[in-house]
Amino acid sequence: SMPAPAVAVVSAMHGVTDALTALARIAAEGGDWRTPFTQLTRRHVEAASALDPADTLDSARWFAGEFDRLRTRLAAMAEAASPDEREAAAVQGLGEVWSSKLVQVALGGAPAGWTRLDAREVLVVEPSALGAMVDWPASQARLARWRETHPEANVVVTGFVARDAEGHATTLGRNGSDYSGTIFAVLFGAEELTIWTDVD
Q: Write down the pLDDT at residue 132.
A: 87
pTM of the prediction? 0.93
Q: Kindly indicate the confidence band of residue 182, based on its pLDDT and cuts at 50, 70 and 90.
A: very high
Nearest to 199 by CA among 5, 8, 3: 8
Q: Is the pLDDT of residue 174 over 80?
A: no
DSSP strand pairing (154-158 vs 131-134)? unpaired
Q: Is the pLDDT of residue 3 over 80?
A: no
Q: Write down the pLDDT at residue 2.
A: 66
User: Would you give the DSSP letter of residue 167?
Assistant: S
Q: Is the pLDDT of residue 6 over 70?
A: yes
Helix (H) or strand (E) holding 114: strand 114-117
Q: Kindly indicate the confidence band of residue 4, based on its pLDDT and cuts at 50, 70 and 90.
A: confident
| Residue 81: partners with Cβ closer than 8 Å, 6 or more residues away | 28, 29, 30
As to burial, measured by CB atoms within 10 angstroms (0-12 exposed, 13-18 middle, 19+ buried), residue 135 is middle
The residues facing 127 across adjacent strands are 132
How confident is the model over 69-122, as pLDDT tens digits?
999 999 999 998 777 888 899 999 999 999 999 999 999 999 999 999 999 999
Q: What is the mean pLDDT of residues 134-140?
A: 97
How confident is the model over 44-59, as pLDDT tens digits?
999 999 999 999 999 9
Mean per-residue pLDDT of the chain: 93
Q: What is the mean pLDDT of residues 26-40?
A: 95
Q: Write down the pLDDT at residue 1.
A: 63
Higher pLDDT, 85 or 36: 36
Higher pLDDT, 81 or 40: 40
User: Would you give the DSSP letter of residue 69?
Assistant: H
Q: Write down the pLDDT at residue 197.
A: 82
The residues facing 171 across adjacent strands are 161
Q: What is the mean pLDDT of residues 35-39?
A: 97
Burial letters 31-65, b for 16+ CB under 10 A, else e: eebeebbeebbeebbebbeebbeeeebebeebbee
Ramachandran bin of 16, using left for φ above 0, alpha for ψ from -120 to 50, beta for the remaining angles: alpha
Helix (H) or strand (E) holding 198: none
Residues 120, 94, 7, 136, CA torsion sign:
negative
